[in-house]
Copies of this chain bind each other. A is one copy, B any other.
Amino acid sequence: MLSKKSAAIHSSPVRELLKFSKEPGFISLAGGIPATDMIDVEGIDSVLQQLLAEDHRDVFQYSVTEGEWPLRQSIANWTQNVGLPLDPQQILITNGSQQGIDLLNRVFLEKDDVVLVERPTYLAALQLLDYTEAVIEELAYQGDQIDLGALETRLAAGGVKMLYLIPTFANPTGRIIENEQRIEIVKLAHRYQVVIVEDDPYGHLAFTEQCRETFFSLAQQLYGVDHNVCYMSSFSKIFSPGLRLGWLALPEKFLMAVTVAKQALDLHTSTLNQHIAARYIASGRIDQRIALLKETYRQRRDGLIESLQRHLGDAITFNRPEGGMFLWCHLKEGMDASRLLKACIEEKVVFVPGDVFFAENPEKNALRLSYSMLTQQTADEAAVRIARALQTLSS
């Protein structure tokens, strides 16, 4: 009775690994989980208590699909400051980026439409695309950069409906698409009538001063209201993942279709949670928290890098991301990160083997290590355990 597609789709390996992270004694570098110790419980409680002290009956009642106006307004005010000028009317509140991807898939993708994705890309986006009738293809690269010539050739050949990108501190690679490339991609997408989905959950978590503009903003400058970029972001990594809150910024021409799809899916996002977020943003706490997170994650990045260097030496290479939560690493050529994971589970340390992030031709020696939750001690211990596991593979 299950559809063929459903019977074939498996649980996310990341979420399966997460179950280990709850077991005592395990060190998890698996999840894209913001540090629990870094959640601003006092700050959230404070705005929640203010809300409860006022007449708040309506936060328990149904709301409108687009989202509560105070939150849409808070977001629009807030993003002005980071170079993304928005009208609250352009903003739709979601249950997080994951739902954002699902909504855009539903609204745009028909059978055999091609979606171009980065190599590698966010696993759960690939999983959602598997539920559609679209075809996933990887972008071509020149080194670490998207090959724009190849992209143009592919777009000109036809069939491409959507470009799904995480252009700032991509998951899992930490890569950044620079401004000049962004402009070229926006122009290509416009010429060939392709939707750009700009997924930006980590943009705020930059360790150094950043001068990039969003695809959305660039496209708005180039083409006015008639551009093709759908921007999405999330409060999961900078505020609270448990509240399930994200948002989309859409060109007006797509607003109705996406809103109607959201309406059909679950009517609207929790009214209470939206008001908590609106107040948290308006209070300025979110900027203070982001500043703290940036500093903390930078240190944790450095801590993990140092520990890996110390205990694994040249057995592992990795990037040095300028933001976000992940190191993207490689074992020596020919090694299998999934085999290493099995050995690591015996040593009570887990990570995500990198092959799952590839739409095609996975790199079997790749692995993603999340440093968001690590202290200096647990980073060091994790590296020790990985090294031990690696030893057992060669013995």
Q: How far is the CA of A5 from the CA of B257 in the complex (A)?
A: 10
Q: How far is the CA of A266 from the CA of B131 in the complex (A)?
A: 14
Q: How far is the CA of A273 from the CA of B95 in the complex (A)?
A: 13
Quick check: A242 and B61 within 8 Å, CB to CB?
yes
A242 to chain B, nearest CB (A): 3
A41 to chain B, nearest CB (A): 5
A228 at the interface (CB under 8 A from B): yes
- Pick from B1, B266, B270: contact of A242, CB under 8 Å: B270
A240-293 interface (Cβ within 8 A of B): 240-244, 254, 256-257, 259-261, 263-273
Q: How many copies does the complex hold?
A: 2
A110 to chain B, nearest CB (A): 5
A44 at the interface (CB under 8 A from B): yes
| A-side interface residues, number (CB < 8 Å) | 77
Q: Which residues of B sit under 8 angstroms from A264, Cβ to Cβ?
A: 9, 12, 98, 102, 124, 127-128, 131
Q: How far is the CA of A19 from the CA of B65 in the complex (A)?
A: 11
**Beta-carbon contacts of A1-22 to B below 8 Å, as 1s and 0s?**
1111111011110010011000
A39 at the interface (CB under 8 A from B): yes
Given contacts A11-B259, A12-B263, A1 and B110 within 8 Å (CB-CB): no
A212 at the interface (CB under 8 A from B): no
A310 at the interface (CB under 8 A from B): no
A378 at the interface (CB under 8 A from B): no
Of the listed residues A7, A195, A254, A261, the one surrounded by the most CB atoms of chain B closer than 10 A to its CB is A261
Main secondary structure of the interface of A (DSSP, over half): helix
Q: Which residues of B sit under 8 angstroms from A52, Cβ to Cβ?
A: 45, 48-49
A326-380 interface (Cβ within 8 A of B): none
Give A15's nearest chain B residue, CB to CB: B263
A108 to chain B, nearest CB (A): 6
A96 at the interface (CB under 8 A from B): yes
A244 to chain B, nearest CB (A): 5
Give A48's nearest chain B residue, CB to CB: B52
A222 at the interface (CB under 8 A from B): no
Q: How far is the CA of A20 from the CA of B216 in the complex (A)?
A: 33
Quick check: A106 and B272 within 8 Å, CB to CB?
no
**Beta-carbon contacts of A47-83 to B below 8 Å, as 1s and 0s?**
0110010001111111111000000000000000000
Q: Which residues of B sit under 8 angstroms from A266, Cβ to Cβ?
A: 95-96, 98-99, 102, 244
List A residues at the B interface (Cβ < 8 Å): 1-7, 9-12, 15, 18-19, 31, 33-34, 36, 39, 41, 44-45, 48-49, 52, 56-65, 95-96, 98-99, 102, 106-110, 124, 127-128, 131, 161, 193-195, 228, 236, 240-244, 254, 256-257, 259-261, 263-273
Supplied contacts A18-B64, A58-B242, 4 more A-B pairs, CB within 8 Å:
A2-B108, A6-B108, A12-B264, A98-B267
25 contacts between A and B (CB under 8 A): A1-B254, A3-B106, A4-B110, A6-B107, A6-B260, A9-B261, A10-B260, A11-B256, A12-B264, A15-B64, A39-B60, A39-B61, A60-B240, A61-B240, A62-B236, A62-B242, A95-B266, A98-B265, A127-B263, A127-B264, A128-B264, A131-B264, A242-B271, A244-B268, A244-B269
* 10 interchain residue pairs of minimum CB distance: A242-B271, A60-B240, A99-B266, A95-B266, A62-B241, A60-B242, A244-B270, A6-B107, A6-B257, A3-B110
